[in-house]
Chains A and B, each alone.
Chain A
């Protein structure tokens, strides 16, 4: 998670965090499908596949330039209680986008704590475990230079 992009408003920052977890969850959201669809909802914007233009920066820190596009699916839903959920997820999985938008709607409702502990916390923990495992794998390839002692001193 790029902390520099988190909003100064802690409520929005929390939402950014869960949207990131949901976007990464992929088919992992299927586990929660039944629970998410328990409440009635309508599609404000049915899942739609499109692209975002990915931008890099010259020299990593300079002016932006266009690197290329990536596929993205977005969706907007409204629950019967009126809360609206949005999703923007990498790839072309419409089901993923719909479930992520549903989750976003539930997470903004009165049962936020319930959804956070039921869904976001375990998903986030799982994603963190995967990242840690990858980092540990990369760490095995860290070069450890050693110097040979030459001469008298």
Chain B
């Protein structure tokens, strides 16, 4: 059957022009600048950088503007741009104890070296709309003692490791797999899983993490430590032969303390879940840490009883660019596929109608 596939060009061009007009909105209102998005929507920028898998606040802000605030569309734009750039080399692995902290909390120890630093947060707020923001205003922040300094903040889970209540994480020296270069295979390594989760959808990881808390693969977590702050990134270019600092990026790290394992000659001990994300992205890092732990079920010979423990299910569905793409493709013309289904269902109907009649005749 011949199907018309041309003729949509003008309509498509105009649809894009209309979309741009929709994005701009009422022209009596000043246009949003990329700098405004970057500076005044830092949490949206953080999400787009994390899931877009490219740390560049200006480009993430541009993507948010272009996508008219649709963060998944913005993530898609950033992912697409990312493929146009050459990769120089990998960074020196981050040492998060070197972070210039803007927030650091622990839900497992009240008094700890360095203390609990709340930093900027929505926690403890009443979630009442602040009508004062309908007007423009200055927000100078708290009264600061300019001489105040932060004390050293050692890693909280290290206290447990020192007491042998938790295994210490050590570098096994294995080459780092890259799921953007070699496709995932199952069972995946923890490094592959963490890379997939780091790019994964915040909502999906949050829901899966929540499901483990509600009993679908319990792992009884505590937020051992959450850190947010700026970290200096280093890389070692071949031509120089020594590591070079490039500047700072903001990251969020979450270390969960989870239910213990033991028996069969192994002392009872806590287990770990780890989350790391670009920018101020606490919910993302927590969701990631919960799912990292639940995906370690096989390592601890735990029974797989929840979706969050199903490695292939989680890793194949956590990427929102892939998910949105496959769901979106349903909007593409399926005229031929549908015609064949339509014919089939008509044929079935016809058979159903004719068969009883034929049986009646025979009787």
**A positions within 8 Å CB-CB of B:** 1-2, 4-5, 7, 12, 16, 19-20, 23-24, 48-72, 74, 86, 88-92, 131-143, 145
Contact = CB atoms under 8 A, between A and B. Distances in A.
B20 to A, nearest CB: 24
A142 B106 CA distance: 12
A12 B90 contact: no
B54 A70 contact: yes
Contacts of A70: 54-56, 91, 233, 246, 249
A75 B97 CA distance: 30
Contact of A90 (B150, B170, B191, B249): B249
Contact of B142 (A4, A54, A92, A140): A140
B261 interface: no
Given A92-B56, A138-B103, A60 B248 contact: no
B139 interface: no
Contacts of B103: 138, 141
Contacts of A86: 237, 239-240, 244
7 contacts: A5-B234, A12-B242, A51-B88, A52-B89, A58-B274, A71-B56, A135-B101
Contact of B53 (A24, A69, A140): A69
Interface of B: 49-50, 53-56, 58-59, 82, 85-98, 100-103, 110-111, 115-120, 141-150, 155, 157, 168-174, 176, 178-180, 190-192, 194-195, 198-199, 232-235, 237, 239-240, 242-249, 251, 253, 255, 272, 274, 276-278
B148 A2 contact: no
For chain A, what secondary structure do more than half of its interface residues adopt (helix, strand, loop), or is it mixed?
mixed
Nearest to B249: A70
A53 B120 CA distance: 28
Given A90-B247, A143-B118, A61 B155 contact: yes
A71 B191 contact: no
Contact of A2 (B119, B141, B155, B234): B234
A62 to B, nearest CB: 3
B276 A56 contact: yes
A42 B251 CA distance: 37
A25 to B, nearest CB: 9
Given A55-B90, A86-B244, 13 more contacts: A5-B245, A16-B245, A53-B87, A57-B93, A61-B170, A64-B171, A67-B195, A69-B53, A69-B54, A70-B55, A71-B54, A88-B235, A141-B103
- Chain A to chain B: the 9 pairs with minimum beta-carbon distance, closest first: A62-B169, A59-B169, A90-B247, A20-B245, A70-B55, A139-B148, A141-B118, A65-B191, A68-B53
Nearest to B86: A50
A2 B233 CA distance: 9
Contacts of A137: 141-142, 144
Contact of A141 (B117, B246, B277): B117
A63 B174 contact: yes
Contact of A66 (B198, B237, B239, B244): B198
A61 B162 CA distance: 14
B93 A71 contact: no
A91 B85 CA distance: 12
A72 B155 CA distance: 29
Nearest to B239: A86
Contacts of A136: 144-149
